[in-house]
Amino acid sequence: MKFTKEAAIEGNEKYIESISREQNLYKRSDEIRSEFYRDYTRILHSTAYRRLKHKTQVFFATHNDHVCTRIEHVNHVASISYTISKDLGLNTELTSAIAIGHDVGHAPFGHQGETILKEIVCKDNIDTFWHERNSLFFIDNIETLPDVNGDEQNLSLTYAVRDGIVCHCGEVDETSIRPRNDVVDLKMIFMPNQYSPFTWEGCVVKISDKIAYLGRDIEDARLLNFLDDADTFELLQAFQDSLKRKIEIKDINNTTLIHLFVIDLCKNSSPEEGLKLSIDNLKLMKFIKDFNYKKIYNNDKLNSFKNYTKLIINLIYNNLLVEYDSIKKGNYELKSIRSSLLKNSFKEWLDKYSIHMNPKYKNKIQFNLDNEKDYKRCIVYYISGMTDSFAISIFNELNSF
């Protein structure tokens, strides 16, 4: 357990800051959970976490029960993070909390939905949008749980968990990963990978995120016939060159890759060198990532789905946008909206995050409806929380006569 002295536990110089919360969280007299495990269970019981089961990982609104969804990916990251952190002597409760919360801000339709919302906020000059930041926003400001009095309150998670969520971007190819020393205002992070995580546990989740999706996306692509014989041969050749032995295509799967990278990472990592893979496996990971982008994520077979999702998200956004003049005057009936799903859901959203007509809402107000730019932000964050299936149902209602 090479990292025992670096673990986010009592006695670590970063521990007090790591367990700090922006707002005090109520405590019961018979509480038996640690601060990080309280965070884990608060995320686990949140509605944003539940919705991940109907959000895209790579393949949009899939009806195949064996194709990966966002919640399965999150659980893979949690499992991998636990294995690594336990072997290295780090705090497994912290990695578990970061892992299950790291993608709660993902838009419907995966990274394509994220791209569309980013285009909207850029076009209307209202904000910036990327899923790590949106995950922090949902954890900090959107998700609530009832307190001991039954009032809806914000989650109020610890700094280390919030930091690990917003700093989890693993899309940059790094030789090694190590935590930063400085405490920063997490709300002042304006781009992915701007900072390394504050804790080693956050760094574990960052690398586990990449380990989790590479092999799984290949499995799904093969299942859905995205890869031809030439693609398969290219994969086999790269693996055999890296492993220095002959393998079969069935050996290129999520289980094999996870084992390969996790064991290699644990062997090669140290507090002095950081979290790192061997040179051969770092090259293999980069090859798989580049292969997946070329053959899967940017595959022309996904173009029709990308166009479809762009149509869905823009239609919902524009339908809500035309309601602004009415809402600004205090009319929240949304009479021009033809979808009852959209109307009822957005009215509830406005109440919870802008109006607080329901006395049980004690969470922070997020949007000023007197400000049009804030109203547009309100719509974007509302859409970002949707599942694929909910967005499609709204789209179908808006187009029915």
pLDDT digits (tens, 9 = 90+) for 342-378: 999 999 999 999 999 999 999 999 999 999 999 999 9
pLDDT digits (tens, 9 = 90+) for 150-184: 999 999 999 999 999 999 987 656 789 999 999 99
Chain centroid to Cα 225, Å, comes to 27
Q: Evaluate if pTM is beyond 0.75.
A: yes
**β-pair partners for 361:** 152
Q: Is 341 exposed, middle or buried (0-12, 13-18, 19+ CB in 10 A)?
A: middle
Rounded-to-integer distance, Cα 58 and Cα 1, Å: 35
CB atoms within 10 A of CB 180: 15
The pLDDT of 87-116, averaged and rounded, is 97
Secondary structure of 235-268 as H, E, C letters: HHHHHHHHHCCCCCHHHCCHHHHHHHHHHHHHHH
Helix axes 388-398, 303-321, angle to 10 degrees: 70
**What letter represents residue 60's amino acid?**
F
- Look at residues 40, 140, 46, 170 and name the one whose alpha carbon lies nearest to residue 94: 40
* pLDDT score at 171: 63
For residue 56, the cross-strand partners are 69
Provide the 3-class DSSP secondary structure of residue 6: helix
First CA to last CA distance, the chain: 64
pLDDT tens for each residue of 259-287: 999 999 999 999 999 999 999 899 999 99
Say yes or no to pLDDT of 243 above 80: no
- The burial of 202, by beta-carbon neighbours within 10 Å (0-12 exposed, 13-18 middle, 19 or more buried), is given as buried
Q: What share of the chain in percent tops pLDDT 90?
A: 79
How far is the CA of 279 from the CAs of 6, 65, 252, 268, 286, in angstroms?
25, 36, 20, 10, 11
Is 77 in a helix, a strand, or coil? Answer: helix
Please report where in the chains the tokens 């993902």 appear, as a residue. Answer: 106
CA distances from 334 to 6, 339, 353, 372, 391 (A): 54, 10, 17, 16, 18
Secondary element (H or E) of residue 176: strand 176-177
Residue with tokens 């289980």: 255
3-state secondary structure of 275: strand
pLDDT digit string (tens) for 174-233?
Answer: 789 999 999 999 999 999 999 999 999 999 999 999 999 988 999 999 889 888 888 888
Amino acid identity of residue 214, one-letter, is L
Contacts of 93 (CB under 8 A, 6+ apart): 34, 36, 37, 40
- Taking phi over 0 as left and psi of -120 to 50 as alpha, with beta for the rest, 266 belongs to alpha
Dihedral sign, Cα of residue 194, residue 200, residue 206, residue 207: positive
- The DSSP secondary-structure symbol of 223 reads H
Contact 95, 204 (CB under 8 A): yes
Residue 65, classed as helix, strand or coil, is coil
- In percent, how much of the chain has pLDDT > 70? 99
Question: Between 173 and 84, whose confidence is greater?
Answer: 84
| Inter-residue contact 385 to 138 (CB < 8 Å) | yes
Cα distance between residue 160 and residue 203, in whole Å: 11
Average pLDDT over the chain reads 93
CA distances from 210 to 97, 213, 282 (A): 17, 6, 12
Tokens matching residue 219: 């499995």
